[in-house]
A = this chain, B = another copy of it.
């Protein structure tokens, strides 16, 4: 089968369940694996702040410095707060689990919905920003950015369907290349501007101010910059991947990550100020900065390539997180059970495919523009931050372990500050897209609850508790026939083995055919009665269902079995040449409450 071969080529041969294994990561490797999401936001966070400030003209630009300092302070608070989650949830404390355990199911579901949205947006935003890094260096590709974005998503999806097992090694190179090249650029940038006093005469061509530099605009710029914090929670979800002692190693790695992120983010923002670089269409801020500091030689292309690579890696992290969270929600009966099954390569294939499709749709809907997606992004992140840390506060208050007062203070500060930032983001970004996420979360919660209710009801209705198996009763067998041929005769014969009460049912569509059948019937039916039904409107299904209803009413206690003679052609396209009446009858019968047994008797045609 060529389709299977294609699947094997793309996805690889199936892996046995027993081949599932855990790779333990050194801190050096773990930093690479878990920090790409957080670090990659350096590529766009400063630009997003300036994009808002520039609305107030050049006067607004210097405000990027205090705003960045505020974001850096927030980062420190959140990181410190998350370090407390690590020893408390050594097997991984995602916001869904922490909120559900400590605050209840409902807040847990809110966190779950927020995280699912966040993961999808991480893919869309990171890929859009990665493509922007590429098209900044190669402007000819700019018109193809939507196609490129969807292509990258397809490749990441495929890679994840194969299973990205060798993660530590693959991740280290681009992540450390990114850190090193950005550190180098920042170093050179500062050196040039301080010692050589060179702060390049950049062409400043921005539109005249359209908005006043008021508090709202500053808050909106701050809200845009808060995307720098996305991904900070990744390490606290992945503790089991660390070497012993896991909690201490994870804690140390988180501190390192926060430090690096802080340095790079503040470095880029200050340099953008020194070099008077402002956002412009068609080239990213980082690309402009790199051109100004490093020229357009090989080093410039290293920066752009490292940026694109770490952004693609960041998108890739969601491919582990989204399917895992979806499978946990499915295990808890809030999402379809199909999301819990592992595919050929031991990954949650359905979740991976769903993520790829939704992220591609976002890239297409928002025309591949990072800027258009940003207002949707931070809402989910900060909602899950707030719930997770509020959950930790609740936990300390009930456990009262030694030192709980300090812990409550830290997590409380974290919860309050992220809650405040959440309201700022929701308010300032509402009309720019945050409303979509705010509207989506309650819809998703409703969906979770409906799914849960269905599974609970099903479990209850299928339960054997107090179940009295019914005694076998009178059985009536009905055989709808379309004429008389080998398949029908075989079916009639089988029907007779089930019960002495067998009726063949025929719908009269053509007087001549009916007469011909009546003549042949006696010869082949072995005494089974033929019921001929009128069908003034030429429908087969309606008279048949009406007849079955009549039988049900006349025999209220009988078990009714419908035996369907079916001709199975040798080739699939031959099915197009048959009326498929048997399929329609089965479809209609399945939804009738009384008929619970439908038997297909197949007669296989040969070529």
Contacts and interface: CB of A to CB of B under 8 A. Distances in A.
B497 A342 contact: no
A57 interface: no
A602 B605 CA distance: 28
Given A574-B454, A577-B454, A596-B602, A538 B342 contact: yes
A472 B497 CA distance: 8
A498 interface: yes
Interface stretch (A147-155, A313-321, A456-464): A456-464
A389 to B, nearest CB: 33
A337 B578 contact: yes
Contacts of A497: 472, 475, 498
A462 B485 contact: yes
A601 interface: yes
B454 A569 contact: yes
B536 A337 contact: no
Given A18-B536, A574-B454, A598-B602, A489 B469 contact: yes
Contact of A568 (B15, B567, B591): B591
A576 B487 CA distance: 34
A593 interface: yes
B536 A16 contact: yes
A529 interface: no
Nearest to A460: B605
A17 B538 contact: yes
B597 A537 contact: no
Contacts of A472: 493, 497
A554 to B, nearest CB: 21
B602 A537 contact: no
A604 interface: yes
Interface in A439-494: 451, 454-455, 457-458, 461-464, 467, 469-470, 472, 475, 484-487, 489-490, 493-494
A85 to B, nearest CB: 29
A603 interface: yes
A568 B597 contact: no
Contacts of A461: 486, 603, 605-606
Contact of A464 (B463, B524, B576, B601): B524
Given A336-B576, A597-B601, A469 B490 contact: yes
Contact of A336 (B467, B526, B577): B577
Contact of A599 (B16, B467, B599): B599
Contacts of A338: 579
Nearest to A338: B579
A590 interface: yes
Category for how many chain A residues contact B: 35 or more
Given A337-B577, A590-B602, A458 B493 contact: no
A292 interface: no
Contacts of A464: 484-486, 489, 520, 524
A600 interface: yes
A577 B350 CA distance: 13
Contacts of A16: 536-537
A16 B538 CA distance: 8
A552 interface: no
Interface in A576-591: 576-579, 586, 590-591
A336 B336 CA distance: 39
B457 A605 contact: yes
Interface string A332-366: 00001110011110000000000000000000000
A391 to B, nearest CB: 28
A14 interface: yes
Interface string A555-583: 00000000000111100001011110000
Interface string A532-543: 000011110000
Interface in A119-145: none
Contacts of A595: 602
A577 B457 contact: no
Contacts of A520: 464
A443 B124 CA distance: 47
Nearest first, the 3 closest Cβ-Cβ pairs linking A and B are: A462-B485, A14-B537, A16-B536
14 contacts: A14-B537, A337-B577, A342-B538, A343-B538, A461-B486, A461-B605, A464-B524, A469-B489, A566-B590, A586-B600, A596-B604, A598-B599, A598-B602, A600-B600
Given A467-B489, A469-B489, 20 more contacts: A16-B536, A17-B537, A336-B577, A337-B578, A343-B538, A454-B574, A455-B577, A458-B605, A462-B487, A462-B603, A464-B484, A470-B493, A475-B497, A490-B596, A590-B600, A596-B604, A597-B599, A597-B600, A598-B600, A600-B600
